[in-house]
Amino acid sequence: MKNDIYDLRDIKILVDSFYGEVQKDTLIGGIFHGAIQNWPVHLEKMYTFWQTVLLGKHTYSGSPFSPHAQMQLDTIHFERWLYLWTKTIDTYFEGETAEEAKWRAEKMASLFLIKIEHLRNQGSKSLT
């Protein structure tokens, strides 16, 4: 039986497993390898981000959209990201917080894509 996402240990399992899949992925792996210079630092930041989002611990500070603003990302990239995220959650977890993690990722992907397309189409300054 799988457990829900309860604490930082669970967040680390989720984030480490997810990014392990991302790094191997033929579609988005190269994008992440090109954008992330220091994987341990990035993973630590993701632990705090998801701990804040899912567990209400308020350990993250920053602007999650900013690093994505100038990247050449399209719908297909966000779909793959969501597929890998959902697959990782379903592999390790089940429960209310696990479902919330999938829902929040869907909303975040939609918002990021809208903002990126707006920046491209309008040539405007960043919406960070």
The predicted-structure confidence for 31-67, as pLDDT tens digits, reads as follows: 999 999 999 999 999 999 999 999 999 999 888 888 7
Domains of the chain: 8-126 (1.10.490.10)
**What is the pLDDT, as a whole number, of residue 119?**
84
- For residues 127 and 95, the model is more confident at 95
Whether 125 has a pLDDT exceeding 60, the answer reads no
**Interacting residues of 95 by C-beta distance below 8 A, sequence separation 6+:** 2, 3, 4, 5
**What is the pLDDT, as a whole number, of residue 128?**
52
**What is the pLDDT, as a whole number, of residue 83?**
98
Over residues 66-119, the pLDDT tens digits come to: 877 777 888 999 999 999 999 999 999 999 999 999 999 999 999 989 988 888
Q: Is the dihedral of CA 63, 125, 67, 18 positive or negative?
A: positive
Distance, CA of 45 to CA of 60 (rounded, Å): 7
The structure's pTM equals 0.89
Distance, CA of 116 to CA of 10 (rounded, Å): 31
**What is the pLDDT, as a whole number, of residue 40?**
97
